[in-house]
Amino acid sequence: MDRTQLQNSFEAYFNELGYDIDWQRLTVPMDVHVIRKGDYLFQQGDFANRLYFLHSGLVRYVSVSDEGKEFTQTFAKSPRIIGSTKAMVTETRVLFGIQALEDSMVSSYTWQAFYAQMRHDIGFLECYAKFLERIFIVKEERENAFVKHSAERRYLDFCAAYPELKDSIPQQQIASYIGITPVALSRIRHRLKLGRG
Pairwise CA distance, residues 184 & 151, whole Å: 9
Contact 75, 10 (CB under 8 A): no
Contacts of 20 (CB under 8 A, 6+ apart): 14, 123
Using CB under 7 A as the binding rule, whether residue 109 contacts DNA is answered as no
Using CB under 8 A as the binding rule, whether residue 27 contacts a second copy is answered as no
With CA atoms as reference, report the closest residue to 53 among 93, 25, 90, 26: 26
Using CB under 7 A as the binding rule, whether residue 67 contacts DNA is answered as yes
Number of residues that bind DNA (CB under 7 A): 20
With CA atoms as reference, report the closest residue to 85 among 121, 105, 111: 111
Taking contact as CB under 8 A, which single stretch among the options 3-11, 32-40, 142-150, 181-189 is the one that binds a second copy? Answer: 142-150
Using CB under 8 A as the binding rule, whether residue 161 contacts a second copy is answered as no
Pairwise CA distance, residues 34 & 18, whole Å: 28
Q: Least distance in Å: CB of 176 to a second copy?
A: 9
Pairwise CA distance, residues 191 & 163, whole Å: 20
Using CB under 7 A as the binding rule, whether residue 188 contacts DNA is answered as yes
Q: Which does 188 bind (CB under 5 to 8 A by kind): a second copy, DNA, none?
A: DNA
State which of positions 51-110 bind a second copy (CB under 8 A): 63, 65-66, 71, 73, 85-86, 89-90, 95
DSSP annotation of 96 reads: S
Binding site for a second copy (CB under 8 A): 63, 65-66, 71, 73, 85-86, 89-90, 95, 119-120, 122, 125-126, 128-129, 132-133, 135-137, 139-144, 146-149, 179
